[in-house]
């Protein structure tokens, strides 16, 4: 169970209680009042030493929706923090299914937005980062480095870089899944991008043939866009050809041991920009699959079905053996 006092405590007290807490050794069960359910929480895991991770069981989303339907409080970040015993004012930022949310000293409107179930392929965890308590004195022999005002700002910068890197690792998994989806879509587009068969050309009219040329153009354009994003994933930011290895080396060399150096703030901006570029790439890959590829597939399948229906109708007329005429023929033979 969580070892915190109610979230109405002053921020400093809530902050001190959190950092005095012993890290979890396993997932802890936190009751969610009013629902009869619970949350899973892991305090100070190795990947997030200055925060915690929340897992929301699927049945809690259904319970939250039932409460919202009768006008009760739904599942929000502010409510979850209250159940855990964390004051929202000490939350610096959190990652909801891999997407960052800023705390803004508890004033962010995202605290009161309803939490929906994680989308397919997204990381189901909510990662919360806590503000580090202020340090009034510098350790002896460790003066602030260039561009960094104090140990407090140093700690915050390193925490944010660590959070960005943790988000990057989650995004890389989501990007791999998105790449697989694009590859499958490319295979379907290639199978549809073909000449009409002799039978389809025979039974399709001039408008059908013109429409099919337009559909093939859409299929080619969609395949080009998908291929571009697959290539960007393979040889761009997320690959060894990009800066992935460099970021990994810098993280292990400076961020993990909390080693200050000149240019730290510039590197902090680099980590943040890298995370944002991966988020944009993931969004582009997902949108190209759902909006571009699926739309081209839908139009191609609709046109082929229309031409195929005409071919089947013409075949029935040629043979003359409709279901009604076949039954009449069999009854006449039995007489």
- Note down pLDDT in tens along the chain; length 335 residues: 454 544 445 677 777 788 778 889 999 999 887 667 889 999 988 777 788 999 998 888 876 666 655 445 678 999 999 999 999 999 988 988 878 888 888 999 999 999 988 887 777 889 998 886 643 333 433 444 444 445 567 888 888 899 999 999 998 889 999 999 999 999 999 999 999 888 888 888 889 889 999 999 999 999 999 998 898 888 776 666 567 888 888 888 888 888 887 778 888 888 988 888 888 888 889 888 888 888 889 999 999 998 888 878 777 665 555 545 545 544 545 54
Domain(s) of CATH 1.20.120: residues in the chain: 168-334
Burial 101-117 (b: 16+ CB within 10 A, else e): bebeeeebebbeeebeb
Q: Are 148 and 260 in contact (CB under 8 A)?
A: yes
Task: Count CB atoms within 10 A of the CB of residue 276.
Answer: 13
Question: In the prediction, which pLDDT does 291 show?
Answer: 83
Angle between helices 151-192 and 206-235 (to 10 degrees): 150
DSSP helix/strand/coil, 42: strand
Question: In the prediction, which pLDDT does 331 show?
Answer: 53
Please give the span between the terminal C-alpha atoms of the chain, in angstroms, as a whole number. Answer: 85
Two structure tokens written together for 187: 């295979």
Question: In the prediction, which pLDDT does 190 show?
Answer: 92
Residues 6+ apart with CB under 8 A from 77: 88, 94, 96, 101, 110, 111, 112, 113, 115, 126
For 174, how many CA atoms within 13 A lie in the half-sphere containing its CB?
A: 26
Map tokens 């929340």 to a residue. 54
Question: In the prediction, which pLDDT does 313 show?
Answer: 78
Two structure tokens written together for 105: 């000293």
DSSP helix/strand/coil, 194: coil
DSSP helix/strand/coil, 297: helix
Question: In the prediction, which pLDDT does 188 show?
Answer: 92
pTM across the whole model: 0.51
Task: Please tell us whether the domain made up of 168-334 is placed in CATH 1.10.3470.
Answer: no
Residue 56, exposed/middle/buried by CB under 10 A (0-12, 13-18, 19+)? buried
CA separation for the pair 212, 204 (Å, rounded): 10
Question: In the prediction, which pLDDT does 220 show?
Answer: 92
Angle between helices 294-319 and 151-192 (to 10 degrees): 20
CA separation for the pair 183, 185 (Å, rounded): 5
Question: In the prediction, which pLDDT does 320 show?
Answer: 52
């Amino acid at each position: 169970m969580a070892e915190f006092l109610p979230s109405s405590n002053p921020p400093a007290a809530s902050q001190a209680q959190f950092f005095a807490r012993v890290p979890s050794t396993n997932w802890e069960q936190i009751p969610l009042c009013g629902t009869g359910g619970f949350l899973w929480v892991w305090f100070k895991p190795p990947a997030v030493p200055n925060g915690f991770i929340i897992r929301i069981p699927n049945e809690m989303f259904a319970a939250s929706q039932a409460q919202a339907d009768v006008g009760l409080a739904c599942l929000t970040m502010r409510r979850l923090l209250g159940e855990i015993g964390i004051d929202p004012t000490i939350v610096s930022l959190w990652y909801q299914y891999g997407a960052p949310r800023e705390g803004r000293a508890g004033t962010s409107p995202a605290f009161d937005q309803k939490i929906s179930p994680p989308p397919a392929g997204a990381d189901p965890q909510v990662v919360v980062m806590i503000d580090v308590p202020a340090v009034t004195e510098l350790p002896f022999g460790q003066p602030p480095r260039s561009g960094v005002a104090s140990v407090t700002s140093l700690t915050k910068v390193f925490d944010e870089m660590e959070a960005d890197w943790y988000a990057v690792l989650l995004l890389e998994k989501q990007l791999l899944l998105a790449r697989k989806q694009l590859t499958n879509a490319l295979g379907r587009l290639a199978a549809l991008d073909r000449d009409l068969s002799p039978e389809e050309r025979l039974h399709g009219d001039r408008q059908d043939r013109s429409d099919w040329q337009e559909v093939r153009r859409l299929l080619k354009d969609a395949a080009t866009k998908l291929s571009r994003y697959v290539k960007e994933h393979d040889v761009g930011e997320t690959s060894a050809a990009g800066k992935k290895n460099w970021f990994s080396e810098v993280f292990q060399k400076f961020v993990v041991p909390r080693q200050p150096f000149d240019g730290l703030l510039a590197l902090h901006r680099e980590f943040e920009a890298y995370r944002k570029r991966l988020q944009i790439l993931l969004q582009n890959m997902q949108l190209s699959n759902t909006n571009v590829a699926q739309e081209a597939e839908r139009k191609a399948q609709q046109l082929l079905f229309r031409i195929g229906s005409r071919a089947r109708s013409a075949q029935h007329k040629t043979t003359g053996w409709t279901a009604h005429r076949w039954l009449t023929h069999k009854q006449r033979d039995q007489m």
